[in-house]
Structure 1
């Protein structure tokens, strides 16, 4: 089994605090709401066309030709292609939060910074989903455990260049030490955003940036994250 790279092991922090992540996330979201929503809008420029091309159109073809091998193949290939194009965006939002937690301004175009890791992220996603599926088959509880334990696997691969197995194991081993706290943290964020959505969606203006920043704080607290000073200086110039 591969060991975690030394840089990751040294950066990992021994404690995780829900209160610290939430409080810091709220503080850091002040002044960052518009850049974060700008990043979300940029990501939609990829997600919406990718969804139409790789999910909606193959789905229509399958409905019209339910017994066609070609339609079935295009449906599966389309789903894989959609994951390929959207995984780097998903990983980026944790790292945008980590960038903010490192004391830097949010850079909306950071959502596109991790496409060079698209293939490793695709492999990681497939293995992660298979392991979680097997976990849910094994009396559900192992699946719940892995769903929480693997939460930082994709940003770890994108940020630190880890292989799929290194990222999965680094996330699992680190989060396991704080599993119940992380489960509570995720549950609180979900409930907070659900409540905001039920309030006609207006509250999402606050809860989405807060959640992204809070997750970034948690990531940096557990694994370490240092923003690129040269990039930040070029933006300020």
Structure 2
């Protein structure tokens, strides 16, 4: 569990978000395991497009129940790469170990965002961007869905416009990837997840680093 004092300190302190740093770090994470990430992204794309084509009216079930843990897999792999841990292809599917919390946070944040769009559109855009770290908080802080959503919202709100520009830039990168006969999307897609994780690491700082246990007082010598 995250340290409440660290959370308070982070949210009450000015923070900086360097888009260039997040993109460069995201690219480094991608380059560390390009074959695994591309292969996994291809599987995710096949599952999602296959569900849309074959299941038709029931494709939303896949989006709600299967897509979130598949997305979580990218962040979990990014975390392992960042920690210099060995990564194997099956690690990509570890998101299913967190099935209930990631599905819950995805459903609730999605509903609130849609309600925001219905209300005045602008609140929906704000929340859609502000909840970008809700899933990473669930995965790496162990917080329940509402706390994760609020931590994400409060943190990103401090740099909302810069983060919004970051998201738009990733959208442009993926559009360019699609224009290259879709082949470039196999790189831009997983890279985008790595970049979002890199941004998450940059903005959370030492928040998720476990505190060292305090050493016990030395025994008195007589």
TM-score of the superposed pair, with normalisation by structure 2: 0.76
CA drift of 1:81 comes to: 5.7
Query: Does residue 118 of structure 2 align to residue 137 of structure 1?
Result: yes
For the 8 Å contact 2:42–2:186, the answer to whether it is kept is no
Q: Which residue of 2 aligns with 1:176?
A: 157
The separation in 2 between residues aligned to 1:11 and 1:40, in whole angstroms, is: 36
Q: For the Cα contact (< 8 Å) 2:41–2:189, is it kept in 1?
A: no
Asked if the contact 1:98–1:213 (Cα under 8 Å) also holds between the matched residues in 2, the reply is no
In structure 1, the partner of 2:79 is: 98
- Pairing of 1:124-163 with structure 2 (within 5 A): 124-163=105-144
Within 2, Cα distance between the matches of 1:116 and 1:182? 29
> What's the Cα RMSD here?
3.0
Matched, 1:109 2:90: yes
Distance in 2 separating the partners of 1:172 and 1:214: 18
8 Å Cα contact 1:101-1:213 kept in structure 2: no
Structure with higher RCO (Cα < 8 A, 6+ apart): 1
Equivalenced residues, count:
203
Instruction: Give the unaligned 5+ runs of structure 1.
Output: 60-74, 227-237
TM norm structure 1? 0.72
- SS of the residue corresponding to residue 114 of structure 1 reads helix
Partner in structure 2 of residue 222 of structure 1: 203
Q: 1:27 aligned to 2:25?
A: no
